[in-house]
Amino acid sequence: MKIAIILSGCGNRDGSELQETLSLMLAIDRRGWQYQCFAPDGQYAVVSHLDGSEDGEMRSLFVESARIARGNILPLAQYRPDDYDALALPGGMGAARNLSTFAFDGAAMTVRPDVSHAILDTYKAHKPILAMCIAPMVLAKVLGPYGVRLTLGQPCPQADIARQLGAEIEYCNPTEVCIDRLHNVYTTPAYMVATRISEIFQGADNLVQALA
């Protein structure tokens, strides 16, 4: 199996959450499967991982995502569902700030057109879509009109907004997976509720195992 992973920068405050992303990669690799990282082009605002402040610095979304992939990354524009068995979105605030505007606009959020097209094309190809942590909010916006079921962990404001967007919500503990067989969508809460890195890996492993 070969899984495409969409990254959103580097670091949990303004990009892809590293522990979630690496746990996802390891879970895929441990099964002898393959993954290929993708990222959109464009700039994003840097957030300090020490105090959450912003000083106006801008960085390349694609270049920063390449740090996680050790340089083995492709532009999202090159993603084609026919070439992969599944699509995955790890968490981190990059999903809410860079792939979408959820962090700024809440229920009025938009999703980058290239990200939305990748998700919709995969959905219409009847291939699995995986998401971790806050990334299911992106699926709620794109696939909510289809009634997709997903998790954002335990009761929270984000889950309420996902419902407003049309998604059905299932409450899960850190290592559990919400499996929507009808829509071929698999989600796990990760750091929406987890407190330990071991929970992150177990959740990612269970997420990937659900595809087997």
Q: Which residue has the tokens 């949990």?
A: 12
State how far the Cα of 188 lies from the Cα of 177, in Å rounded to an integer. Answer: 5
CA separation for the pair 190, 122 (Å, rounded): 23
Q: Determine the length of the chain.
A: 212
- Catalytic pick among 10, 37, 133, 178: 133
Is residue 133 annotated as part of the catalytic site, yes or no? yes
Q: What contacts 56, CB < 8 A, 6 or more positions away?
A: 45
Burial class (CB in 10 A: 0-12, 13-18, 19+), 105: exposed
Residue 129: its H or E element: strand 129-132
Maximum distance among all alpha carbons in the chain? 45
Q: Which two tokens stand for residue 176?
A: 């559990």
Integer Cα distance of 189 and 81 in angstroms: 25
The total of other beta-carbon atoms located within 10 Å of residue 22's CB is: 17
Question: Which residues lie across from 199 on neighbouring strands?
Answer: none
Annotated catalytic residues are 133
